[in-house]
Chains A and B, each alone.
Chain A
Amino acid sequence: DAGITQSPRHKVTETGTPVTLRCHQTENHRYMYWYRQDPGHGLRLIHYSYGVKDTDKGEVSDGYSVSRSKTEDFLLTLESATSSQTSVYFCAATGTGTYNEQFFGPGTRLTVL
């Protein structure tokens, strides 16, 4: 997984509780991303970061927030989890420059009851 780890790998939580997922990379990549993957769908971009403290929304950002205080860490927070946020979440990272390869983490399976 090219130096990208995610924690936790599995989580079960209840509706209305806050949840934070962590992505950590060791390759000093500038760009980092959070995707969700649902059955029958490809990956959909939630939020991304183009540097420390620089983030922007993706196509499915409602109900999610992110933070990046260090190059190596990118946090995804569900302020108040809902059942529709049950999904597998992937973190990814790319370096600076055009057409750089995107590396993915192993994923976090989140279940919201």
Chain B
Amino acid sequence: GENVEQHPSTLSVQEGDSAVIKCTYSDSASNYFPWYKQELGKGPQLIIDIRSNVGEKKDQRIAVTLNKTAKHFSLHITETQPEDSAVYFCAASKGTNAGKSTFGDGTTLTVKP
């Protein structure tokens, strides 16, 4: 089955700096890659996603890049703010059923004011 590895497990940045989280996947048939943000005591919430026919997608301060050949994708957060502090999860699926995604183990991002 699919295996998703996520790095780093913890990341601390200064407010205003950029943060990058990287994931690799093993199943070349995966074609949908969502990113979730989970705040303390809450369920994960989708923040951005990318499909395999797209190399990059941006939404304000958040961007995701995908390299299908290398089977890795990354989340980029620019101009970080304290409210960006949370646990971020990447996931991969074959797209027809997004709920059957395989998740990475998560990255705890801390943005220091």
Which residue numbers of A lie inside 8 Å of B, CB to CB? 1, 4, 31-33, 40-45, 48, 50, 58-59, 90, 92-94, 98-102, 104-107
Contact = CB atoms under 8 A, between A and B. Distances in A.
B98 A40 contact: no
Given A42-B104, A90-B43, A107-B43, A101 B89 contact: no
Contacts of B43: 1, 4, 90, 92, 104-107
B42 A94 contact: no
> Which of B9, B32, B36, B100 has its CB near the most chain A CB atoms (within 10 A)?
B100
B45 A43 contact: no
Given A105-B43, A107-B42, A99 B103 contact: no
A21 B96 CA distance: 27
A79 B106 CA distance: 30
B49 A99 contact: yes
A92 B99 contact: yes
B29 interface: no
Contacts of B36: 104
Contact of B99 (A40, A48, A107): A48
A42 B89 contact: yes
Contacts of A1: 42-43
B104 to A, nearest CB: 5
B20 interface: no
B51 to A, nearest CB: 6
B106 A99 contact: no
B32 A99 contact: yes
B101 interface: yes
B113 interface: no
A41 B98 contact: no
Contacts of B51: 99
A110 to B, nearest CB: 15
Given A4-B43, A45-B99, 15 more contacts: A42-B4, A42-B104, A42-B106, A59-B1, A92-B43, A92-B99, A93-B99, A94-B98, A99-B32, A99-B95, A100-B98, A101-B49, A101-B98, A102-B98, A106-B42
